[in-house]
């Protein structure tokens, strides 16, 4: 991804299923910005206390300290004027108001990177992610590895019978599956 720097800000979205390396990619972009001595603020949605409520953590155990928020407006309130990169993990859990929040930040000249699941456990678009993807200047779609056949995987298979859209969990609750091996839950 080649980014041409100008005066204006922009939005980057990193999407894909669970285990596709979204958090790793987000952490990599943050670390590189920190190496460039950019001022960075890191947020994630507070619903995911998978490992630590205030860190962004990848399944490969990389982590960076962040602030857990439950409301997109909190991000606007917490971002410092001098911040150059605003990184947001678990973007799918926010409401549609996240779209206005990140647009405002980009319009202020900031680089905004949002990582999130583009599809839920049913294989349907997740929360504000479709809107964020079409507003973004740069979209990176990642794939995981299908746990059944080893092919590239675009879907997140829920291994339990829960029917809530949000059920927080990792390897014991979800696995990545390709198009052939993804089994959407039966409609009730
Ligand atoms: P995401 O944020 O998309 O859930 P992470 O960045 O947290 O992904 O984790 C990616 C890491 O998960 C990979 O580098 C790999 O070590 C591990 N991993 C576990 N299962 C899989 C899988 N099925 N496909 C790819 N990576 C996997
Ligand atoms: Zn497969």
pLDDT tens, 5-48? Answer: 667 899 999 999 999 999 999 999 999 999 999 999 999 998 75
In short, whether 59's Cβ falls inside 6 Å of ligand 1 is: yes
- What per-residue confidence (pLDDT) applies to 51? 46
- Which pair of structure tokens corresponds to residue 73? 């407006």
In short, whether 24's Cβ falls inside 6 Å of ligand 1 is: yes
Which ligand is nearest the CA of 147, by number? 1
Told to judge if 90 belongs to the known catalytic residues of this protein, a careful annotator would answer yes
Mutation probe of ligand 1 site: the residue of 27, 52, 126, 144 with most atoms within 8 A of C-beta: 144
- What per-residue confidence (pLDDT) applies to 49? 53
In short, whether 127's Cβ falls inside 6 Å of ligand 1 is: no
- Helix/strand/coil for 184: coil
Model pLDDT for residues 59-109, shown as the tens digit of each residue: 888 889 999 998 999 999 999 999 999 999 999 999 999 999 999 999 999
> Would you say the C-alpha torsion 42, 47, 118, 109 has a positive or negative sign?
negative
Ligand 1 atom nearest 27 alpha carbon = 6
- What per-residue confidence (pLDDT) applies to 33? 97
Structural domain boundaries of the chain?
10-142
Cα 175 to ligand 2 centre (Å): 11
What one-character DSSP code corresponds to residue 126? Answer: -
Mutation probe of ligand 1 site: the residue of 44, 59, 157, 170 with most atoms within 8 A of C-beta: 59
Q: Which residues have C-beta within 8 Å of that of residue 9, sequence separation ≥ 6?
A: 105, 106, 107, 108, 109, 110, 111, 112
- CATH, domain 10-142, list 1.10.287.610, 1.10.3720.10, 3.40.50.300, 3.40.960.10: 3.40.50.300
Identify the CA nearest to 33 among candidates 55, 12, 54, 61: 12
The residue ranking higher by pLDDT, 52 or 86, is 86
In short, whether 144's Cβ falls inside 6 Å of ligand 1 is: yes
In short, whether 147's Cβ falls inside 6 Å of ligand 1 is: yes
Residue 14's alpha-carbon distances to 19, 126, 139, 174, 178, in angstroms, are 13, 13, 6, 19, 19
Question: Which amino acid residue places its CA nearest to atom 22 of ligand 1?
Answer: 145
Q: Pick the catalytic residue: 12, 90, 172, 187?
A: 90
Q: Which residues have C-beta within 8 Å of that of residue 35, sequence separation ≥ 6?
A: none
- What per-residue confidence (pLDDT) applies to 120? 96
């Amino acid at each position: 991804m080649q980014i041409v720097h100008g005066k204006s800000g922009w939005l980057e979205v990193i999407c894909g299923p669970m285990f596709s390396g979204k958090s790793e990619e987000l952490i990599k972009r943050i670390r590189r910005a920190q190496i460039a001595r950019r001022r960075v603020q890191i947020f994630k949605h507070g619903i995911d206390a998978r490992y630590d409520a205030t860190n962004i953590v990848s399944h490969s155990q990389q982590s960076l300290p962040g602030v857990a928020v439950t409301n997109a407006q909190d991000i606007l309130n917490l971002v410092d004027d001098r911040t150059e990169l605003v990184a947001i993990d678990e973007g799918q859990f926010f409401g549609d108001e996240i779209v206005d929040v990140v647009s405002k930040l980009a319009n202020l000249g900031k680089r905004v990177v949002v990582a999130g699941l583009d599809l839920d456990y049913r294989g349907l678009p997740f929360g504000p992610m479709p809107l964020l993807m079409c507003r973004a200047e740069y979209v990176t779609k990642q794939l995981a590895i299908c746990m059944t056949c080893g092919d590239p995987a675009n879907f997140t298979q829920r291994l339990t019978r829960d029917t809530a859209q949000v059920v927080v969990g990792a390897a014991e609750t979800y696995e990545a599956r390709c198009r052939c091996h993804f089994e959407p839950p039966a409609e009730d």
